[in-house]
Amino acid sequence: MAVLLKDLITLDNEVFSAYAFWAGVLVIKMLLLSILTAIQRIKTKTFANPEDLMSKHQKVKFDNPDVERVRRAHRNDLENILPFLVIGFLYVLTNPSVGLAVNLFRAVGISRILHTIVYAVVVLPQPSRALSFFICLFVTVYMAIQVIFAAL
């Protein structure tokens, strides 16, 4: 392949700016789950470290379902958004068609926001979480395959 990064990794490239836009949005979304965990910990008085306790009558606790739910949503982000961010960047370098690539980035961005909402904010019944989970997974696998073939 003869396409150079210099032609692709620039914010003038619509594919790359779509990637950069959704990377920014998704990272802020992920970090909000840290804040939401802290809110749930304070609301339910569930602290994992002795130095976090707010009075000497409290004890460390690990099993509050509301705290653990947010932590599972957060871990799911680590497992899915971070690999997507790496592969999405490399996918830009395969010089994909603009329309396809921009819509794939959009699909991942929106589906991961929905994943957080149905998992940790309002808690909707399945298959809402499963569907929002699989969109990002399938797109990331598709992009990874494109990267592998371009690299061969």
* Residue 72 interacts with a copy of itself (CB under 8 A): yes or no: yes
Nearer to a copy of itself, 100 or 123 (CB): 123
Give the number of residues written for the chain: 152
Residue type, 77: D
Residue 59 phi, psi dihedral angles, 5° rounding: -125, 160
Which residue, among 92, 88, 85, has the nearest Cα to 26 in the 3D structure? Answer: 85
Residue 28 phi, psi dihedral angles, 5° rounding: -60, -45
Tokens representing 99?
A: 């329309």
* Residue 82 interacts with a copy of itself (CB under 8 A): yes or no: yes
When binding is defined by CB under 8 A, the residue of 64, 66, 69, 110 that contacts a copy of itself is 69
* Residue 78 interacts with a copy of itself (CB under 8 A): yes or no: yes
Contact residues toward a copy of itself (CB under 8 A) are 1-6, 9-12, 17-18, 20-21, 23-25, 27-28, 30-31, 33-34, 48-49, 51-52, 68-69, 72, 74, 78-80, 82-83, 85-87, 90, 93-94, 123-126, 129, 137, 140-141, 144-145, 147-148, 150-152
